């Protein structure tokens, strides 16, 4: 491994900059835009649902190809940076169209620009996160990079949450004017910050590896036990969150009858998540990544279970905000720990197989995230629909209870399982230090 000066905090901050504008558009593309297109265009709701499924199928094909191509290019001595530049241009163009549709646009318009949006985002996200794992390899330095990334992403979520309060609209809603302003702002800012990052942050230090191939990609799941453990842990985490996120809008608006307060709920969630990130970094320093992850899942579980007892009506607003803040703090660990832990798993693969699969592994995580969120939200909606829940009508206590069980108890149980899986993660600080020493020893011998 080639020696070089350790990266500075300035490099980490510069590296994290693109995450801020990316975060502004990621959440609404999944949670706001489908409903917006259903209300403001002539595209049927069933067609919109079909488009979402097609987009996920597109992701399933494209993400692994991007991961494989980025790792293969790196093994030939090329940089990951051109992938980000191309992705930023595609995403900026797609955002201007996707976030400002005319009332008469059809399904082809939505599908085409949605696919372009996902293509641009994947071209950035996968090589970008792989690059981050290569900037520093020590246990805590990698956690510092993940923390800077999480702060930038949290700031982007907060910017999206406050956007309705900064527009001229009195409704404080995500209407056409607000979404168009968000889209054009990100389309201008994103290429600029990506350019700053590409110019100011170096590539990761070169490591002599074999070139990746399809056999190495497929074999990683079989022989890399930390990777299998991470995949199960991360899937449980995202699935539990996906069920909750898929139903939280209906829970606040129809179960608690606080629909007008949802913007405040979203704002509280984003603010606490952002403020909690430095706390999670401190806890990681004290207790290691996997234990901090387990504790975060425990906090989220307690908050979800307490939400089961909230009454309907205005008296629920204050305790709801308090529990939303508690859950947001607990889930904030997922903004830091997964990227940092996955970097350690990538090092383990590098040691055992002499192959850098950073982008391939991040592509896997991207697929897990997208499918778990979609499947979690879809299964949640399907379950409450089969239970007979009517969001626009009166529901019996039994049906309302079924909704609460689906939206709160089930995710709490899944998140609790994720916490248990995190607690017994096999690659801790001591074992990762051994992995790094062996990689460095092999590099020194190879240089002789």
The CATH number that applies at residue 355 is: 1.20.1250.20
Q: Is 2 part of a structural domain of the chain?
A: no
For the chain, the average pLDDT equals: 86
Confidence of residue 365 (pLDDT cuts 50, 70, 90): confident
Where in 110-162 does DSSP place strands (E)? Answer: none
Which structure tokens are listed for 222? 């079989």
Q: Is 4 part of a structural domain of the chain?
A: no
Comparing 90 with 52, the larger pLDDT belongs to: 90
Query: Using one digit for the tens of pLDDT, what is the confidence trace for 341-350?
Result: 998 999 998 8
Q: Is the separation of the CB atoms in 363 and 126 below 8 Å? A: yes
Q: Is the pLDDT of residue 51 over 90?
A: no
Nearest-angstrom CA–CA distance, 229 and 283: 22
pLDDT value at residue 375: 74
Nearest-angstrom CA–CA distance, 341 and 427: 8
Q: Distance of alpha carbon 291 from its chain centroid, rounded?
A: 20
pLDDT value at residue 243: 87
Strand partners for 210: 355
Confidence of residue 177 (pLDDT cuts 50, 70, 90): confident
Cα 353–358–364 angle (5° rounding)?
A: 105
Q: Is the separation of the CB atoms in 222 and 152 below 8 Å? A: no
Q: Helical H runs in 332-428?
A: 337-353, 358-386, 397-404, 410-423
The pLDDT of 1-14, averaged and rounded, is 71
Cα 38–40–44 angle (5° rounding)?
A: 30
Query: Using one digit for the tens of pLDDT, what is the confidence trace for 64-88?
Result: 889 888 888 887 878 899 999 999 9
Nearest-angstrom CA–CA distance, 278 and 152: 12
Return the C-alpha torsion angle 339, 344, 346, 351, nearest 10. 170
Query: Using one digit for the tens of pLDDT, what is the confidence trace for 187-196?
Result: 999 999 999 9
Alpha carbon of 342 to those of 307, 392, 428: distances in Å? 32, 43, 12
Q: Is 331 part of a structural domain of the chain?
A: yes
Strand partners for 355: 210
Q: Is 3 part of a structural domain of the chain?
A: no
Q: Is the separation of the CB atoms in 357 and 349 below 8 Å? A: yes
Q: Is the separation of the CB atoms in 423 and 290 below 8 Å? A: yes
Of residues 121, 118, 119, 128, the one with CA closest to residue 79: 128
Query: Lowest-pLDDT range, 108-122, 134-148, 270-284, 308-322?
Result: 134-148
Q: Is 69 part of a structural domain of the chain?
A: yes
Q: Is 260 part of a structural domain of the chain?
A: yes
Nearest-angstrom CA–CA distance, 87 and 6: 28
Q: Is the pLDDT of residue 2 over 50?
A: no
The segment with the largest mean pLDDT, out of 119-128, 155-164, 168-177, 299-308, is 299-308
Alpha carbon of 333 to those of 147, 300, 345, 422: distances in Å? 10, 10, 18, 12
Q: Which helix (H) or strand (E) holds 389?
A: none
Q: By residue range, what is the domain housing residue 228?
A: 9-447
Of residues 286, 208, 245, the one with CA closest to residue 376: 245
> How many structural domains is the chain composed of?
1
The pLDDT of 2-21, averaged and rounded, is 81
Q: What percent of the chain has pLDDT over 90?
A: 48
Nearest-angstrom CA–CA distance, 33 and 28: 6
pLDDT value at residue 172: 61
Q: Is 1 part of a structural domain of the chain?
A: no
Nearest-angstrom CA–CA distance, 417 and 222: 23
Nearest-angstrom CA–CA distance, 418 and 293: 9
Nearest-angstrom CA–CA distance, 237 and 334: 8
Q: Is the pLDDT of residue 120 over 90?
A: yes
Nearest-angstrom CA–CA distance, 67 and 127: 7
What's the predicted TM-score (pTM) here?
0.79
């Amino acid at each position: 491994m080639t020696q070089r000066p350790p990266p500075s905090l300035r490099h980490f901050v510069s590296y994290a900059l693109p995450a801020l504008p990316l975060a502004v558009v990621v959440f609404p593309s999944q949670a706001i835009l489908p409903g917006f297109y259903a209300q403001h265009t002539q595209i049927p709701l069933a067609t919109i649902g079909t488009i979402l499924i097609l987009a996920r199928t597109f992701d399933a094909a494209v993400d692994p190809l991007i991961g494989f191509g980025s790792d293969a290019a790196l093994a030939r001595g090329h940089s990951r940076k051109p992938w980000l530049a191309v992705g930023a241009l595609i995403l900026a163009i797609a955002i201007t169209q996707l976030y400002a549709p005319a009332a008469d646009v059809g399904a082809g318009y939505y599908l085409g620009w949605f696919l372009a949006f996902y293509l641009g985002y994947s071209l950035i996200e996968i090589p970008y996160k792989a690059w981050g794992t290569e900037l520093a390899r020590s246990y805590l330095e990698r956690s510092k990079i993940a923390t800077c990334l999480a702060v930038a992403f949290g700031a982007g979520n907060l910017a999206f949450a406050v956007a309705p309060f900064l527009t001229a609209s009195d409704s404080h809603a995500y209407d056409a004017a607000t979404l168009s302003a968000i889209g054009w702002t990100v389309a201008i800012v994103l290429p600029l910050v990506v350019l700053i990052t590409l110019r100011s942050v170096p590539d990761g230090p070169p490591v002599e590896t074999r070139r990746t191939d399809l056999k190495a990609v497929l074999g990683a799941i079989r022989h890399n036990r930390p990777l299998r453990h991470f995949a199960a842990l991360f899937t449980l985490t995202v699935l539990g969150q996906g069920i909750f996120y898929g139903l939280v809008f209906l829970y606040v608006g129809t179960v608690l009858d606080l629909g007008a307060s949802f913007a405040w709920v979203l704002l509280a969630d984003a603010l606490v998540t952002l403020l909690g990130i430095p706390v999670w970094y401190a806890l990681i320093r004290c207790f290691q990544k996997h234990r901090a992850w387990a504790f975060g899942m425990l906090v989220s579980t307690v908050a979800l279970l307490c939400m089961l007892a909230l009454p309907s009506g205005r008296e629920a607003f204050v305790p709801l905000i308090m529990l939303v803040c508690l859950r947001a703090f607990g889930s904030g660990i997922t903004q830091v720990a997964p990227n940092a832990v996955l970097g350690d798993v990538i090092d383990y693969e590098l040691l055992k197989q002499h192959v850098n699969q950073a982008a391939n592994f991040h592509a896997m995580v991207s697929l897990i995230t997208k499918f778990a969120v979609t499947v979690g939200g879809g299964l949640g909606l399907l379950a409450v629909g089969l239970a007979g829940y009517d969001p626009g009508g009166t529901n019996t206590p039994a049906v309302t209870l079924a909704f609460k069980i689906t939206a709160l108890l089930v995710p709490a149980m899944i998140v609790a399982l994720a916490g248990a899986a995190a607690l017994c993660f096999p690659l801790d600080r001591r074992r990762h230090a051994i992995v790094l020493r062996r990689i460095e020893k092999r590099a020194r011998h190879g240089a002789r």
